[in-house]
Each structure stands twice: as C-alpha cells, then as structure tokens.
Amino acid sequence: MILLLDTSTADCHLSFYDGDVCLLEDTWHADRELAEKLLGYLEEKMASLGKSWSDISGIGAFRGPGSFTGLRISMSVLNTLASDLHVPIVGATGKEWESTALARLTAGEDDQIVLPEYGRPANITQPKK
C-alpha cells in the first residue's frame, strides 16, 4: 500500500493506494495539532482499512510550496517512516503531484530523503536576547 501525504496547508490531505486503486482519501483539519496527532491520524486511517505500518510499500510526499511548519513536520515524519520501514520515498510538487509520486514509486524510484520546497526563503524569526 502506498501512502501519499500533503501537509502544505492547515488541511492535511491523505491517500492510500494499492496499485492504481485508491483505498482511502481523507482530509483532516490539522491546524496546530499536526506534530502532536499526525502519527495517530495515520494509524487510525490504516486501521479503518484493516492495515498497519507493515503494509506500507512506498511513500509519496507533497514537497510544497506551502506552510514552513507543516512541510517540515511531514518531511521529518515521512522520511523517518521510510527509513524505519525500509520503503522508498519520493517527493513531488504541482497540481498532479499524487500521480507523479505514484508513477515514480511504480517505476522503482527512491529519493531516500525528501526535502521541502517552501516556494520562497524560510521566514525564521531571530531569537530574542
């Protein structure tokens, strides 16, 4: 099963595919709870399909552009999952990112690590003294 995830906005978009068949498509308004609840959300959706982490055969990540924090969180989680599960991970951008990610995974591609594309330089606040 292939996991596809987009956290570029406050609404998190998740899909699970088996080949070309979409098993589940869901949107979750994660807002400021993404870091705290992402793994539980993924587990809940897999359980609704009778699946677990061991059923994941590949991961597709929306690289951006989008929210600095949302993309940073999802890239950290998805890269860690891909490494831990020993499955390929690919990143994609644009309106057709899901079909691009699915095609790349089907072709046997593996980015090994996916980095976010914010669309502009990250706006990182300087620490106050």
Write down the domain spans for the chain: 2-106
pLDDT score of 125: 77
Which residues in 80-102 are b (16+ Cβ under 10 Å) and which e? ebbeebebbbbbbbeeebbebbb
pLDDT above 70: residue 122: no
pLDDT above 90: residue 120: no
Which single residue is written with the structure tokens 């989680």? 77
Confidence band for 129, pLDDT divided at 50, 70 and 90: confident
pLDDT score of 119: 76
CA distances from 113 to 21, 32, 36, 50 (A): 26, 25, 22, 28
Confidence band for 127, pLDDT divided at 50, 70 and 90: confident
Q: Which CATH number applies to 2-106?
A: 3.30.420.40
pLDDT digits (tens, 9 = 90+) for 23-79: 999 999 998 889 999 999 999 999 999 999 999 999 999 999 988 889 999 999 999
